[in-house]
Amino acid sequence: MTLAGCELSEVVVPNGDPIVVVQAVMRPDLAVQSVFVERSLVGDEELEDDEDAIAIINATVTVTNLTRSTLRCSGPIAFTLVDSDRGRYESPIGGCPLLEVGDNMELNVETPGGEKVFGTMKVPEMRSIMVTQTGIRLPTGVERIELNRELDTLLFDVVAGSGRGLFVESQSLTGLIGIDRRLSFFVDTVSVQLVGDLISDFDDDGAQLFRAGRFANVSIGLMDENFFRFNQTRNDPFTGRGFDNRLEGGLGVFGGVDARFFSVRAVANIDDPREGIYRLRGDFGMGQVDITWELYLVENTPQAEFSAFVSGIWPGLSGPLNTSLDGTFNLDILEAVFDLSIATPNVFIFRGDNALAQSFEIQVSDGNNAILGTLQVTR
């Protein structure tokens, strides 16, 4: 049979009805909770490139704690629109609605057009979390971890009172507040292992999530059944089961997460002469500088990127530094950018020639490349 002579007539498929989309994942550790209220697209709207829904403003959004209904802040607590572009509504400052592990919560949304969305959820309870680093159990309550990215693995085991599955997020930090890489995923167990050479979110360049010389933030969140099902059915479009929607009158999720947070200081084996400790001292007009770099290469090549932990005294700061910076080696020329967001000026550029020597000078400029002075470097 051949289809070469067939002509297909144009078929016009009518647009579907718009649907109210509500997304709210609440955490007991947050002082302010958020609810996003939007309307799905029907095919004839003109939107910006990065938009995939239309925000609904002037909706009535309330959350009620059904478990502690006799207590103050149990609700219904009205949420206020704070971002009209995204349809984000926030709870009032002050801890309302009351939200504790094990509580049953209710969400009600009514749009200006009279559409109503309703949902309930039970806040999950993480009773404890045990962290094991390369076979060694870390002290209970540990929040700061030093990890050798070439040797170590981290195992997180959760004891759950209620909840299902873990939502994991890790962010590689640049400087004090910058996020360079991130990885987020979920598992259907209450145990998850992170290897030291983990690669961030499917990047084509194979970037390191735990980059030596940088800090990383890791969060382990125990999900409630609603948020787990939301991730599970959204994650795998090939099961044929479709999206597991647990809201009435709309689509989306009303769920909860009980999370724990860890700061990871990533290091590596020192196997290149350019790696190690650099001490920078001097005064270039702003005050006395006495800082230390703990430097690690990304790759052992003549032209290589590096990251370094920065500690010590910097003028204008009330306390010692504990941050990081990124830079490059071009043969024996070192260049680095120091983004110090809590100082003025807040961007400094370092450049040093003959940086393979045991002692050399490094030039310091501001973000506009105006030279501020020099520092003496010893290794």
Q: What is the pLDDT of residue 303?
A: 87
Closest CA to 20 of 194, 190, 251: 251
Question: Which of 3-7, 25-29, 139-143, 337-341 is least confident?
Answer: 3-7
Dihedral sign from CA coordinates of 172, 174, 178, 181: negative
Query: Are 311 and 291 a contacting pair, CB within 8 Å?
Result: yes
Do 276-378 and 125-235+253-267 have the same topology in CATH?
no
Task: Read off the pLDDT of each residue in 154-159 and give the average, rounded to a whole number.
Answer: 96
Confidence bin at 300 (pLDDT 50/70/90): confident
pLDDT at residue number 165 = 94
126 neighbors 47 (Cβ within 8 angstroms): no
pLDDT class of 3 with cuts at 50, 70, 90: very low
Q: Domain residues of the chain, as ranges?
A: 20-121, 125-235+253-267, 276-378
Q: In the 3-class helix/strand/coil scheme, how is the chain assigned residue by residue?
A: CCCCCCCCCCCCCCCCCCCEEEEEEECCCCCCCEEEEEECCCCCCCCCCCCCCEECCCCEEEEEECCCCCCCCCCCEEEEEEECCCCEEECCCCCCCCCCCCCEEEEEEECCCCCEEEEEEECCEEEEEEEEECCEECCCCCCEEEEECCCCEEEEEEEEEECCCEEEEEEEEECCCEEEEEEEEEECCCEEEEECCCECCCCCCCCECCCCCCEEEEEEEEECHHHHHHHHHHHCCCCCCCCCCCCECCEEEEEEEEEEEEEEEEECCCCCCCCEEEEEEEECCCCEEEEEEEEEECCCCCEEEEEEEEEEECCCCCCCEEEEEEEEEECCEEEEEEECCCCCCCEEEEEECCCCCCEEEEEEEECCCCEEEEEEEEC
Q: Which residue has the higher pLDDT, 299 or 205?
A: 299
The tokens of 352 are what?
Answer: 């040093």
The stretch 162-178 carries a mean pLDDT of 80
360: nearest Cα among 379, 344, 336: 379
In the predicted model, is pLDDT for residue 204 greater than 60? no
Q: What is the mean pLDDT of residues 208-227?
A: 92
Q: Is 331 exposed, middle or buried (CB count within 10 Å of its CB: 0-12, 13-18, 19+)?
A: exposed
Question: Does residue 22 have a pLDDT over 90?
Answer: yes
For position 203, what pLDDT does the model report?
52
Report the share of the chain in percent with pLDDT over 70.
85
Q: Is the pLDDT of residue 66 over 90?
A: yes
Q: Write down the pLDDT at residue 227.
A: 94
CATH of 20-121, one of 1.25.40, 2.60.40, 3.30.450, 3.40.50: 2.60.40
Per-residue pLDDT, 286: 75
Per-residue pLDDT tens over the stretch 248-266: 999 999 999 999 999 999 9
- For the chain, what percent of residues have pLDDT higher than 90? 58
Of these ranges, 5-19, 225-239, 258-272, 360-374, the one predicted with the greatest mean pLDDT is 258-272
Average pLDDT, stretch 9-30? 74
Return the CATH number of 125-235+253-267, one of 2.40.50, 2.60.120, 2.60.40, 2.40.10: 2.60.40
Contact 232, 187 (CB under 8 A): no
pLDDT of residue 110: 96
Q: Is residue 53 scored above 80 in pLDDT?
A: no
Which of 44-48, 61-65, 171-175, 352-356 holds the top average pLDDT? 61-65
CB 195 within 8 A of CB 209: no
pLDDT of 237: 47
**Is residue 271's pLDDT more than 50?**
yes
Burial of 251 (0-12, 13-18, 19+ CB in 10 A): middle
* Dihedral in degrees, nearest 10, Cα atoms 70, 71, 74, 77: 110
What is the per-residue pLDDT for 240? 41
Per-residue confidence (pLDDT) for residue 207, from 0 to 100: 75
Omega of the bond prior to 124 within 30 degrees of 0, cis? no
Mean pLDDT confidence for 42-49: 52
∠ CA 273-300-172 to the nearest 5 degrees?
A: 105
Quick one: tokens of 260? 């724990």
Is the domain spanning 276-378 CATH 2.60.98? The answer is no
Residue 26 clears pLDDT 90, i.e. is over it: yes
